[in-house]
Amino acid sequence: MVIEVLMWVDVLIVIDGPTTQDGEYVDHECKYYELISYVKGSGVEVYIKREWLGWVTVEKHNEFGVVLSYKEKRKEKKTRMAGIYLKPNRSISYLEEGMEDLEDCDIIMGDLNARNPLWGGKAGDNETNQHGRTIKKWTDKNGVDIVEHDHKTFRTVSVIDITLYKKDETILKVHLVDKVGLEHCGQVVRKCLEEPVGLIERSIAWKKVDWKEVEEKLKELDEDGRKNGKA
């Protein structure tokens, strides 16, 4: 329902979405988007508008989060963006190791449970926690700025859902979507992009993957291989 409300957004990174008791993805109908990446245990799902399939590449998706990349028409290098979800009670060393893999990202969005009054104090409070100190050191080291929000991003607990971007990037316009009845507010990052030449005209051919079927086929191949005495 929330995805359909935000149908004007091209790429959706859903953090801490619903899962089964075993942590598996919960399938559902979606008119305008397709799921392009989900990893069990990561708490991050990535959806993209159907007409943009083939433009955004999933470079990495692990328990810490996802790294996506895309290339614009007149740019030589790819732009990389990350969506991350730091689960509660994770250690500082876990955060530090996860952030090391994001040093080449231009835009980073997510839930880091980080508080630091140096970011303005509007979205969190006037206290600093260990996560806030760690993120501040990381941004200073890597030439990254933080977009601060004007409102609390959690309704009862002071948590900053922050957006980071490289200082040589255009300043991002970020606002919160807090009218959809959720505990966490959504972040909407506005960035003007130039689509690659002929992307829409190419009518990229695609087929939705049935991952359950893929898993079953792989098991069948493995069983056949064992029966035939092959590794």
In a domain, 133, yes or no: yes
In a domain, 35, yes or no: no
pLDDT of residue 231: 46
CATH number at residue 195: 3.60.10.10
Number of domains comprising the chain: 1
* Domain encompassing residue 217: 58-221
Give, as one character, the DSSP assignment of residue 52: G
Give the pLDDT confidence of 153-199 residue by residue, as tens digits. Answer: 665 555 567 788 887 666 667 777 766 555 666 777 777 666 665 55
For residue 180, what are its two tokens?
A: 């959809």
In a domain, 72, yes or no: yes
Is beta strand 33-38 parallel, antiparallel or unpaired with respect to 57-61? unpaired
In a domain, 211, yes or no: yes
For residue 26, what are its two tokens?
A: 């919960």
In a domain, 192, yes or no: yes
pLDDT of residue 98: 92
Say how far apart CA 95 and CA 97 lie, in whole Å.
Answer: 6
